[in-house]
Each structure stands twice: as C-alpha cells, then as structure tokens.
Amino acid sequence: MSEEDVEFEHSPLSGPITRDGETVEVEIYRFPGTPECWRMEVVHLSGCTRWDTTFATDADARVAFDEMVDAVGMAPFVGHRPTAWN
C-alpha cells in the first residue's frame, strides 16, 4: 500500500492561513497508530512545501510554521524567493 492510499489523521490545527496578503493551506497530519509522528505540508497554487522532519505534536508542527513565517514571511511558500536566497 502506498502513502497515497492511506487515510491520514488530520490535525484540527490544519487549514487555510492568510498572512502578507497570501493564503496557503497548512496540512498537519499523521499516519494512524503513530501518535508522536506528525508531518506538515504547506500547499499553495505554486506548489507544496513538505517538512523533512516530523513533530512530536501537531502543536509543535504549527509552531514551526508560525516561527518560519515570522522569520521570513510567506514568500517561500508562494513561489517568491527573497533576492538574498537566489
């Protein structure tokens, strides 16, 4: 069975987030039976960003997203890279 065929448990902390005039969908989820293995993806029309790490809780995943947005804004998630990153 592939990862696409599995029903994930989605966190209630998932959902659309709007900042800097841009909206992304934050998906925080885990495989059934993996209580301390939350995964996170940020989805936008321009693509998807998946964290390589897993999180002990869904709240930890959401904090990681919020901290990144506080540090660099929404640009990395919506297809815009600051000049310094080029």
d(CA 41, CA 10): 11
Instruction: Provide the CA 83 distance to its chain's centre, in angstroms.
Output: 23
Q: What is the pLDDT of residues 25-68, one digit of tens each?
A: 999 999 888 888 999 999 998 888 899 999 999 999 999 999 99
The letter for the amino acid at 62 is: R
1-5, 17-21, 57-61, 82-86: least confidently modelled range: 82-86
Q: What pLDDT score was predicted for residue 80?
A: 62
d(CA 60, CA 83): 29
